[in-house]
Structure 1
Amino acid sequence: MVTCGLLTSSNKPVPLRRVAVDVCIQSFVADVSSELLYKNEESDPVEAIFTFPMDADSAVYAFQARIQDTIIKAQIQDKKEAQETYEDALASGQSSFLLEQMSGGDVFSCSLGNLPPGEEAVLSLRYVQELPLEADGATRFVLPAVLHPRYAPQGWEEENVTAGVSYVAKGELPYTLSLSVSLQSPHGIARVHSNCSLTPLNYTAQDQTAAQVSLAQSAPHDRDVELLVYYARAHKPSAMLEPRMPSAQAGTLMGDPVAMVTLLPNIPEAALGQSQAGEFIFLLDRSGSMGCPMDSSTGHPLRIDSAKDTLVLLLKSLPLGCYFNIYSFGSNFESFYPQSVEYTQRTMADSLKRVQSFQADLGGTEILRPLQAIYGSPCRDGHPRQIFVFTDGEVGNTQKVIAEVQRHHRSHRCFSFGIGQGASTALIKGIAKAGGGVAEFITGQDRMAAKVLRSLKWALQPAVTGISLSWELPPGMEAVPLRPDPKVIFQGQRLLVYSQLRGQPQAPESSVGSVTLQYTIKDETFKDTVQFPLQPQEGDRLPIHRLAAKALLQELEPGLPSGSEESRHRALEASLSSGVVCSLTAYVGVDTRQGRPVQGPLRRCPIPLAAPVSCMMAPGSPLMLPLCGRASLMSFSKSFSFQQDSTEMLQSDANYFPAPIPQAIGCRRIHSANQRAVNMVPENLSRSRRSCGTPQETMKMASCKMQTMPQAVAQEGASPLIKLVSLQNANGSWGLDSALASALGVSETDVKGKMPSEGVEPGVWATVLAVVWLHSRSAAQREEWELLEIKAVGWLRSRAGSISQLDKCLEAANALLGCSVAAPVFGL
């Protein structure tokens, strides 16, 4: 059983001996440098292939491998030049592997040739990434456990069936892991939390804008290493200016300073309010893999069950007067209604019954057709369309899906949710960006409902208009934006803006620049301005430049095939100078000692797609494996490849043959959370070809039942919160009956007997009880019920005969439930 890392051609892991990771975090970006030492302990040479998952907003910019006296380094070239090198090698009877930019872009792989017996391979990998902002304001960095195998105490493997894990006794770990982190931010570093033991935070600047921290001991080997960095002034706008690369020509992206501006608009609640209008469409994945658990740990619900609970909360939280519809998809798709219907008690109740019948039984993952059907239905005047997409998959036509969303971006907003660690970051982030919404990933022990309901709150906010960014620089300088102005702004959402600063200020020792974000909400204009010195901070790692290049290339990429010569030149210059690959460039492997590309028999081996959590095949089970090119069964001396896409597949069915799998193949995703070192197996066919009954989908569904169901404890009924929420009416009220008493955990006699008798409606009393229960029994899940509470309190204030009546109900409810909920909850 293997995971990503250094593997042999038969997918066995090459033993790891040492991992050393150095991370530089600057506000909301990270530059990661990893050195991994592997040793071949076999008596024969092994063919070594290194595989590493990448987030769609990350970029590998340097890779090097040292085997014996040979150093193989990645070198980026113009694709035409790289193609000539490649064809010259073919013409001479040899070949060198060539990487070209593919769609998808979240798997990195390279083939290093033969590793002799007893020899070591030292791999150096460098990449940059934007760091996500958590709901509590923390910036999260994750070191994926793919870089080091998972281990557990002896005896554990006899009781658990988990693929992709090597096991030895805890005291016999055959490798070491070191991690050092330097932190730098004008926001001020307040504290750092981790799921591992850390050394005390060591401030290296008196104003606490720089610090260092490292692992105090070896990290746990059943999860990713996670750091949560809390800044003292996270909401304060800031700007960081990074110096130019000394060797680059002035006027180019790497030859000029680049500014990164961080904006976190703090919009007053009074300006936001909550819209009662809108058309809400929920698009849910019901492919076979949704029958897998959210996490491989014991007791976690299935993905489809977690999605169903989330839909319950969503339906209960919608405002009266809006319109809604629910679509589900797999190989085919279904919708509850031909067109969106008005949100009423009847339509809500009918939809809830149908949601409860959902199963992960629709086969593959074909998301384009339901999206086309949604866009084909007419929009409703006065009800802006909001689409919520839930999927745990990856598709082969990612760019077509994103383009479809982009074509209709003016008529809707699209919020996307990646469920589990197999979800494509390129797909989830791509459609959210194209649709002016927000992307979220639900992995490990994350609660899906909390993230989804936060997005619903954003969807209910009034549209932000008139968004613009303006730069003020001294004479002689100009700002060249590398990413368009934001299309949408939400409360609590962080914006990162990159801009290349050309020219020189006339008085460099005293010059400052500023940038202003301006936007309008309900005819009220807001501004956020940040000033920054024009003297770049010292540093040679240049993560901001490389992420700026990634952002620029993402914007230019769709138009490159038919774009202007100027756009092509700009993309080519940014890619070659930064090391971030695009469709105009390619990587070749260069033997630095001999100064020429590494050559050897041609081997094109597609990287398997990662299936969701713990969806494993039993050893020896048959699987349709793709042939790896014309020389797939040949050995080779040295070859080198970079691949950043997991969907490149041979298209002919003749290229596939059934073969036994002696061991399941594993892969992990970098966007992990909490317990994120969960193993994956591949799907070796392009998901664009998936349909119900295809070998890879059959494998996923069968394997989930075979190996994950014993770990996923079936819930006995719904959670207490879902039980209570399910009883709420569309107008926000609850009814006084035995079902409510059961959900509250008290007897029906007490519920009815303790009701104040002075003209109180049973519904008013029942609703007060429900709201008090939410605040006292489910306070930790407030984000999940906050919207439906707003409906409840609004209904109460419209129906209660007087303020004193509400006051009496609250007093009686606190006494009955043993709580102390305060009067301001009800606006008293």
Structure 2
Amino acid sequence: MKITSLEPARCVPEPDAGIGALRTERGNLPLESVDVHAAIAGLVAGVEVAQGFRNPFDVTLEATYVFPLPDRAAVTAFRMEADDRVVEGVLKERGQARADYDRALREGRRAAIAEEDRPDVFTIRVGNILPGERVTVRLTLSQPLPYEDGAATFRFPLVVAPRYIPGEALDGPPAGSGTAPDTDAVPDASRVTPPVLLPGFPNPVRLSLSATVDAAGLDLRELASSLHVVEEEGDTVRLRPGERLDRDFILRLSFAASTSLQFDGAGTFALFVVPPELETDRRPRDLVLLLDRSGSMAGWKMVAARRAAARIVDTLTPGDRFAVLAFDSVVEEAFEGLAEGSDRNRYRAVEHLARVDARGGTELLEPLRRAIALLGGEQGRERVLVLVTDGQVGNEDQILELTGGALSAMRVHTVGIDRAVNAGFLGRLAGLGAGRSELVDSEDRLDAAMEQIHRRIGAPLVTDLSLKDLDVEPGTVTRLGSLFPGVPLRVYGRCRGGSAVTVRGLASGAPWEERVPGTVVDSPALGAVWARAHLRELEDRYAMGERELEGEIVRVSLEHGVLCRFTAYVAADTRQVAEGGPEHQVIQPVEQPSGWEAPVSPMAFGLTAMAGPAPAPPPASGGPGIAPAGGFAAMLGGDDAFLPGAGPAPRMARGPMSARPAPRATRSLDTVRPQLVAELDRLKALHAPGALYLADLGSRLAALSAYLGGHAELAALARELEAAERPGTDPEALRRRAIEVLTALTGGSGPRGGSGGEGRERPFWKRA
């Protein structure tokens, strides 16, 4: 074999960079910078996010970036800037926006599209970036700040943490470019599972984040950042240079707030009610505590979760009954059924909690069903469910559809523990059950958070809230919930008239009310914040089975200019810059979240991050791989993975890596067939894959062959494809050859099913 030497200047290793990280003049990933600026005024923040992309390749590029935004934020504007041209985005129905984006790329024009996949997970695609060119996309947001115990919190997430994906893989092409296959439980899994960077990878993205604080007449006493080091300059707080996109940015503003009612002059109102100083007589409780012990909870999170659970058990009295369920892919009970809250039983529960450690996958649906069954008991007792977790699951809509109705009939509290917590989902669950969602973002915050949890796990101060004396438009008022100690009530809605409102409810069974006069304010953000909150509630109802709401969701989104899951912003240039669609596609790998224990060998991360889109993880008969690395990482095994005689392991459970893979000779082609099907589908969907793509495909197939212990046909195809960049190679002939071999290996698998109507793929949110 002839070995060609590379010029040393073209492949200089990065110092302390981990396996496989090289430096080139153009870089090796498309996302170059993320700049965030927030203008905080009282309890509302206006935010602009700028993402800078650069094409490091010699061919036109489509870059995909999956990233988080605050779950309560309203995205109200989108623009693309390239080559001294500025293109404003237009909000359209999602299918139409995708069609416009695809047409622009086919015609050789630059285009960008922004889509929402979860309340706090978004995807941007930028296509036809010319070699060496920079493109900037900008998002404009309006975000309300939650306020509790005398402090408002500005939380800006910076990384999409890996999510556990349950269910059986769907046939047909994937909905996105991520590392997990779409499943019957998570039909858009491939859209919310970006690959994860190799640990030790040199800072791939330049991060700039600043927040300008205007107290807006409130008495600002203190600013504190819990997870990052910040620098203060006047009224502006800046993130220290060199920080990575691996944890939420959290800024706490301590000041006193008061009850208020604001009108924006366009029919939108915002009500803020500080809880009264009341003593409550709470009823006996039936409480079920669910503790997540999945692999993603390893390390400090498991310690914090055990302590949080123990503090919750401490709130019980002998008149209460309770159950403690620890879950991963199985559910373990501390004792059978509901037990009395006696000293002995509480001691037994805490003793059980002390033995719980992280393992397996986050199968949340079954423990929720078990809890609902336990809480279906007698009248006269308050039913409370407490979930302690990082919330890193992908099947949020499935969980809401199958349990949402029952959860809305009981009190639901969630305790989120992570530095990149799935706050959107945990807030949705708590909102259904008129409870609270408490977030623990660091060990330093644990004691303060535990104190808040201890106070609020009891009965609320005021329940059965309603509004009087304000002519509200029916169906526009956001969920009222209950008043808890230290937690003000915040309500948005639309009204036809009125200058004041009376808030009514029950405090310890007795009537309670408070009249709040209104003031007119000049706040353009108020309408957007209301529209986002209203859309979230409509989307939750849609997820729970009210499919007829789709049209209403699209109407509200377009009418008020706020992005949602059924709409998208698209910006398409009118000038042609290329001969056709992009010749290379790259999905930007994301950071491994801070505080997560490294789940796989560095090589697994390297294959994923450096090779572009990875094949899907193994089927359920494979071991519980690691969602963050995706692709090959999942094949390297996990707890109980590939053990002789073991039954099917849960899909993609995130746990510490095990050194117990079965002998390679025992692995059949069926083990990797879903990956091969996915690769075949992608290959057929690409009209003219370039040499870079084919070479990348060859490296992935070589890894699959090695995983199987050697597979002659697969290895031979891999060698042919890896030579795609040699002079004189015919890419189209290689493409046909790859399709022929993969079709034979997969038994003729290809795009099929799930499309309905003339073979066209249905939008992912409508797939079975």
Whether TM-score is above 0.5 comes out as yes
Matched AA of 2:93: D
Task: Compute the displacement of 1:573 (Å).
Answer: 2.7
CA distance in 1, matches of 2:633, 2:269: 39
Whether contact under 8 Å (1:423, 1:612) holds in the other structure is no
Whether contact under 8 Å (1:97, 1:604) holds in the other structure is no
Unaligned 5+ segments in structure 1 are 148-160, 169-173, 201-212, 244-255, 293-301, 504-511, 634-648, 665-679, 706-828
The aligned residue for residue 714 of structure 1 is: none
The aligned residue for residue 483 of structure 2 is: 489
Residue of structure 1 aligned with 2:369, choices 368, 372, 392: 372
Task: Compute the displacement of 1:586 (Å).
Answer: 3.4
What's the Cα RMSD here?
4.9
Q: Indicate how the Cα distance of structure 1 residues 493 and 392 shifts in structure 2: closer, same or farther if over 3 A, else same.
A: same
Whether contact under 8 Å (2:248, 2:419) holds in the other structure is no
Is 1:183 aligned with 2:191?
A: no
Deviation readout 1:157-213 (Å, 9 max, x if unpaired): xxxx99366369xxxxx979473525253545455455523233xxxxxxxxxxxx2
Task: Compute the displacement of 1:35 (Å).
Answer: 3.5
2:480 aligns to what SS in structure 1? coil
Matched AA of 1:239: L
Write out aligned runs for 1:270-281 (5 A): 271-273=279-281, 275=282, 277-281=284-288
Whether contact under 8 Å (2:589, 2:609) holds in the other structure is no
Deviation readout 1:727-777 (Å, 9 max, x if unpaired): xxxxxxxxxxxxxxxxxxxxxxxxxxxxxxxxxxxxxxxxxxxxxxxxxxx
1:166 aligns to what SS in structure 2? coil
Is 1:349 aligned with 2:347?
A: yes
Unaligned 5+ segments in structure 2 are 1-16, 161-196, 642-648, 661-768
The aligned residue for residue 657 of structure 2 is: 702
The aligned residue for residue 668 of structure 1 is: none
Whether contact under 8 Å (1:187, 1:238) holds in the other structure is no
Is 1:557 aligned with 2:539?
A: yes
CA distance in 1, matches of 2:483, 2:618: 45
The aligned residue for residue 230 of structure 2 is: 196
CA distance in 2, matches of 1:595, 1:267: 65
Task: Compute the displacement of 1:224 (Å).
Answer: 6.4
Whether contact under 8 Å (2:93, 2:566) holds in the other structure is yes
Matched AA of 1:138: A
CA distance in 2, matches of 1:94, 1:119: 14
Q: Indicate how the Cα distance of structure 1 residues 650 and 11 shifts in structure 2: closer, same or farther if over 3 A, else same.
A: farther
The aligned residue for residue 555 of structure 2 is: 573
CA distance in 1, matches of 2:251, 2:460: 34
Matched AA of 2:559: S
Is 1:131 aligned with 2:140?
A: no
Q: Indicate how the Cα distance of structure 1 residues 113 and 96 shifts in structure 2: closer, same or farther if over 3 A, else same.
A: closer
Write out aligned runs for 1:669-680 (5 A): none
The aligned residue for residue 522 of structure 1 is: 508
Matched AA of 1:199: E
Task: Compute the displacement of 1:74 (Å).
Answer: 3.4
2:325 aligns to what SS in structure 1? strand
1:621 aligns to what SS in structure 2? helix
Is 1:621 aligned with 2:604?
A: yes
The aligned residue for residue 282 of structure 1 is: 289
1:111 aligns to what SS in structure 2? strand
Matched AA of 1:544: L
Matched AA of 2:518: F
Task: Compute the displacement of 1:217 (Å).
Answer: 8.8
CA distance in 2, matches of 1:488, 1:217: 36
1:702 aligns to what SS in structure 2? coil
Deviation readout 1:302-353 (Å, 9 max, x if unpaired): 3222222333333333212211110011111111223101122332232232
CA distance in 2, matches of 1:122, 1:94: 16
The aligned residue for residue 781 of structure 1 is: none
Whether contact under 8 Å (1:265, 1:494) holds in the other structure is yes
The aligned residue for residue 590 of structure 1 is: 572
The aligned residue for residue 668 of structure 2 is: none
Write out aligned runs for 1:721-740 (5 A): none
Matched AA of 2:252: L
Q: Indicate how the Cα distance of structure 1 residues 472 and 392 shifts in structure 2: closer, same or farther if over 3 A, else same.
A: closer
CA distance in 1, matches of 2:475, 2:540: 18
CA distance in 2, matches of 1:531, 1:605: 51
Q: Indicate how the Cα distance of structure 1 residues 122 and 402 shifts in structure 2: closer, same or farther if over 3 A, else same.
A: same
Whether contact under 8 Å (1:42, 1:117) holds in the other structure is yes
1:272 aligns to what SS in structure 2? coil
2:230 aligns to what SS in structure 1? coil
Whether contact under 8 Å (2:31, 2:51) holds in the other structure is no
Write out aligned runs for 1:24-423 (5 A): 24-37=39-52, 48-71=63-86, 73-79=88-94, 81-82=96-97, 85=100, 102=117, 104-113=118-127, 115-116=129-130, 118-135=132-149, 137-143=150-156, 163=199, 166=202, 177=208, 179=210, 181-183=212-214, 185=216, 187-190=218-221, 192-193=223-224, 196-200=230-234, 213-215=235-237, 221=243, 226-231=250-255, 233-234=256-257, 236-242=258-264, 256-268=266-278, 271-273=279-281, 275=282, 277-292=284-299, 302-361=300-359, 363-377=360-374, 378-409=376-407, 411-423=409-421
1:483 aligns to what SS in structure 2? coil
The aligned residue for residue 734 of structure 2 is: none
The aligned residue for residue 645 of structure 1 is: none
CA distance in 1, matches of 2:80, 2:639: 40
CA distance in 2, matches of 1:39, 1:356: 49
Deviation readout 1:4-47 (Å, 9 max, x if unpaired): xxx99x99445747x65442323322110133556567777765
Task: Compute the displacement of 1:257 (Å).
Answer: 4.0
CA distance in 2, matches of 1:351, 1:483: 41
2:602 aligns to what SS in structure 1? coil
Whether contact under 8 Å (2:639, 2:655) holds in the other structure is no
Task: Compute the displacement of 1:426 (Å).
Answer: 2.9
Q: Indicate how the Cα distance of structure 1 residues 698 and 413 shifts in structure 2: closer, same or farther if over 3 A, else same.
A: closer
Matched AA of 1:277: P
The aligned residue for residue 811 of structure 1 is: none
Task: Compute the displacement of 1:280 (Å).
Answer: 1.8
Write out aligned runs for 1:605-754 (5 A): 613-616=595-598, 617-621=600-604, 653=619, 681-683=628-630, 693=641, 697=652, 700-702=655-657
Q: Indicate how the Cα distance of structure 1 residues 325 and 494 shifts in structure 2: closer, same or farther if over 3 A, else same.
A: same
1:24 aligns to what SS in structure 2? strand
Whether contact under 8 Å (2:38, 2:48) holds in the other structure is yes
Task: Compute the displacement of 1:98 (Å).
Answer: 7.2
Deviation readout 1:494-519 (Å, 9 max, x if unpaired): 2221122447xxxxxxxx71122111
2:89 aligns to what SS in structure 1? strand
Whether contact under 8 Å (1:314, 1:453) holds in the other structure is no
Whether contact under 8 Å (2:154, 2:250) holds in the other structure is yes
Moved more, 568-577 or 325-334: 568-577
Deviation readout 1:76-101 (Å, 9 max, x if unpaired): 21245446647878999999897765
Q: Indicate how the Cα distance of structure 1 residues 280 and 698 shifts in structure 2: closer, same or farther if over 3 A, else same.
A: closer
Task: Compute the displacement of 1:604 (Å).
Answer: 9.9
Deviation readout 1:436-469 (Å, 9 max, x if unpaired): 2111221133444543453343232267444111
Q: Indicate how the Cα distance of structure 1 residues 394 and 480 shifts in structure 2: closer, same or farther if over 3 A, else same.
A: same
> What TM-score do the two structures reach when normalised by structure 2?
0.64
Whether contact under 8 Å (2:639, 2:656) holds in the other structure is no
Whether contact under 8 Å (2:478, 2:492) holds in the other structure is no
Deviation readout 1:365-402 (Å, 9 max, x if unpaired): 10111111222234244332211101124223212223
Whether contact under 8 Å (1:35, 1:123) holds in the other structure is yes
1:198 aligns to what SS in structure 2? strand
2:349 aligns to what SS in structure 1? helix
Whether contact under 8 Å (1:32, 1:128) holds in the other structure is yes
Q: Indicate how the Cα distance of structure 1 residues 323 and 226 shifts in structure 2: closer, same or farther if over 3 A, else same.
A: closer
Matched AA of 1:529: R
Bigger radius of gyration among the two: 1
Whether contact under 8 Å (1:98, 1:587) holds in the other structure is yes
Q: Indicate how the Cα distance of structure 1 residues 691 and 592 shifts in structure 2: closer, same or farther if over 3 A, else same.
A: farther
The aligned residue for residue 498 of structure 1 is: 492
Task: Compute the displacement of 1:470 (Å).
Answer: 2.1
